[in-house]
Structure formats: C-alpha cells, structure tokens
Chains A and B, each alone.
Chain A
Amino acid sequence: MAKGTGPETVIAHGVRLEGDLVAEGDIVIEGEVHGTVKTKGDLRIGDQALVEANIEATNAVVSGEIRGNIVVHGKFELFPSSKMTGDVITEVLAIGPGAQMNGNISMGGDVVKGKKRAETVDES
C-alpha cells in the first residue's frame, strides 16, 4: 500500500470507534467503525472488520464488510470475502470472485473529479 503523509492509524479487532475518523496517513480497520472515515492515504479493511460509514480514501482494499457510500480517488479492490452495501465512486475497480457488491457504481477519473468539484462548491 502506498503511504499517506502521516503516521498509520490501526483500529484493532475488538475495538469500536464511533464518530468521525479523519487521518492524514493510511488507515487499517480490523475492528468496528460507525460514522465517517476520511483519509488522504490508503484504507485497508480486514476480513473481520465492520464499517458502517461513508468513506473517502485515495486507494482502498477491502476484505470485510462496508455499509455506506465510498469515494476512492484511485483503486478500489474488493477481495473475495468482502461485502459492500452502498454506492461506489472510484477511478479503478477490482472485484474478486465471491465478493458481494450491492449498490450503484460510478467509475472513471471524470466522475471522481466531478464529485470533488461538487464537494468544493458545497463547502464554499
């Protein structure tokens, strides 16, 4: 995984986080997160993890379960054990055999850039 600009954050198996997790560096989730997840780095979700959150990351690799919408500016990979319920916006998508994906998928660099522009306008 490419490194973000800050230190890595690891939510271990057996730990529950509720709220907004915002990080500069990479995030690894092996436990539970409920809320939002945002990083300028990469995101890895382990096979025992449960993430009920809207997510934004540069790249993401998922083996566990996500319930929420996700925006990935680079590559979004769903491993065979993963379960995704929500909408996906990403530049590159890879879905392994056996992975479950339920939601809308929007792909391509223009879509991701358009989403970013919309967010910038909303913020201003």
Chain B
Amino acid sequence: MYDEALQDRKFERELAQIETRLTDLGIAGKIARLALFREPIDLIRDEIRGGVTTVVAVGNDMTLRRVIDAVQDRKTVVALLPVGPQGGMAELLGMPSGVAACDVLSARIVEELDVGEVNGKRFVQSVHIEGTDFSIHHGKQYVITPLRKASIEVRNFAAPDDAGMISPVDGRLSLIIRLPKFSLFKSKADVGCIPFEEMFIACEKQITATVDGDQLQGKDFSFRVIPKALRLVTGKARKF
C-alpha cells in the first residue's frame, strides 16, 4: 500500500530499488496506491477476503495508521516499509528506511502488539488529553484526582521518556499524568504512571483529545486494552 505522497518523482528511484529488492527476495504481491481522498478500508478488506495475509504500508506513520485502521482481524500481518520523512514508528519498530527495510521484511519477525481503544476508536501509540479538570475512575476500585493543573497521556507504545519504557506487549495500557512545576531555572514535571486494563476519564468540559494524531471530541473517555490485537513485522532494533 503506497502512500499518496510517494507519487512525487523524487521517490521514483528509491521505489524502483525497493521493488527490485523485494523481487530478489521472493516477496511478491499486489501494489495499491492510496489516493488523497480515498480510504483504504474497503480496498484492504477486499484483498484480505481474497486471501492476502500480509499488508505492507509503504510510507510513514500516517500510512501505517490507515492500514491498521483497515485491518481489524488478528490474523493479518501488517508491516511498515519506511520511505520519505518519518514519525517515530519506524524507529520503535526497528524498521530501517528504504531498501534496507526489505531484508527486515524478509526476515519476518512478527510481534503481537496490544491495541488501545478509546470510545470505540482504536489506537496503537497514545491518546493525549489536556486543557480541562478531570477525574479518573478505575471501576469501583479507586478514583484519581490531580490536585493541580495536569495533562494526561494514555500510552500503549512510544519511545522511552520521563515516564519510562512502556511495553506494548504486556496486556496493559499506561495512564501517564504530568503535573508541571516551575523553578527559576527550568520547567519540570511531576510524572505519575499507572498501568491498567480498563479506565474511565471524566472531564469537566467537552474537549478534543488527540488519538494517534487524530482528533476525538468528548467529555467522557472510556479506555480499554485489546491484548495481542495487532500482528506487526518488526526488526531486531525494535525498542521493546
């Protein structure tokens, strides 16, 4: 599945090299090009019904996300072949850019990753919520309330940072609460991290959450993890 941005002539040579290398490695398949205003869901699902077992997203994080949105079953394997400017997913998955990714594809190291779901919408990386007061409810077990201004990230899979390394294969999501604190020299944050399987976040007002780069409006957000919901090809240099 080629991203529409790859229609630019500057990618012609690299794509030709990739196609040659894939042929050398014995990897053959149908090539489809994403158009700017066409969703790949029907295209991909038709191909899966026709017997396709692996869908390769050639492009970047956005391309991969669109393919993942279309692949809802647990049997089909998804891969990213990074070409052009990248977000963070290629590095997290251990996929080198361009022709070098073909050999990683050929090695076919498949990992089963967890997928998060917020209000019925799936996400692979994270959800960000800020700009409002909120309370966090873990069933009937406990309620969490920030005592000062805070932002929330619900993370499944991301590069290690001040919240540490979160594993996308542990059957849990992580709730990360950041409370900024300011000193004379630099701004820092108190960071909390709570692993969970299901959680409910009630906001004081309607806000826009960012779900893997997409926007989701809401006042209440219900989260759950779907363990091992996504089969992804990874490289040895993966960050988990």
Report which A residues bind B (CB closer than 8 A).
6-23, 25, 30-32, 35
* B192, A11: Cβ atoms closer than 8 Å: yes
Residue of A nearest to B149 (CB): A14
Give the distance to chain B from A38, nearest Cβ to Cβ, in Å.
11
* B179, A15: Cβ atoms closer than 8 Å: yes
Residues of B within 8 A of A7 (CB): 166-167, 170, 172, 174, 195
A30 to B141, CA, bound (A): 20
Count residues on chain B whose CB falls below 8 Å from chain A CBs. 26
* B146, A14: Cβ atoms closer than 8 Å: yes
Q: B182 contacts the other chain (Cβ, under 8 Å)? A: no
Given contacts A20-B141, A21-B142, contact A10 B194 (CB under 8 A): yes
Given contacts A7-B174, A10-B193, contact A16 B179 (CB under 8 A): no
* B192, A12: Cβ atoms closer than 8 Å: yes
* B143, A17: Cβ atoms closer than 8 Å: yes
A21 to B172, CA, bound (A): 16
Give the distance to chain A from B128, nearest Cβ to Cβ, in Å.
17
Please, what's the 1-or-0 string for B168-182, where 1 marks a CB less than 8 Å from any CB in chain A?
A: 001010100101010
- A-B contact count, CB below 8 Å? 70
Given contacts A7-B167, A7-B172, A7-B174, contact A12 B190 (CB under 8 A): yes
Please, what's the 1-or-0 string for B143-178, where 1 marks a CB less than 8 Å from any CB in chain A?
A: 111111010000000000000101100101010010
Report which B residues bind A (CB closer than 8 A).
138, 140-148, 150, 164, 166-167, 170, 172, 174, 177, 179, 181, 190-195
Residue of A nearest to B179 (CB): A14
Given contacts A8-B164, A9-B194, A10-B194, contact A15 B142 (CB under 8 A): no
A14 to B166, CA, bound (A): 22
A20 to B142, CA, bound (A): 6
Given contacts A8-B193, A30-B190, contact A15 B167 (CB under 8 A): no
30 intermolecular pairs with C-beta atoms under 8 Å apart:
A7-B172, A7-B195, A8-B193, A9-B193, A10-B191, A10-B192, A10-B193, A10-B194, A11-B192, A12-B177, A12-B190, A14-B146, A14-B147, A14-B150, A15-B144, A15-B150, A15-B190, A16-B146, A17-B142, A17-B143, A18-B142, A18-B143, A19-B138, A19-B140, A19-B142, A19-B143, A21-B141, A31-B192, A32-B147, A35-B142
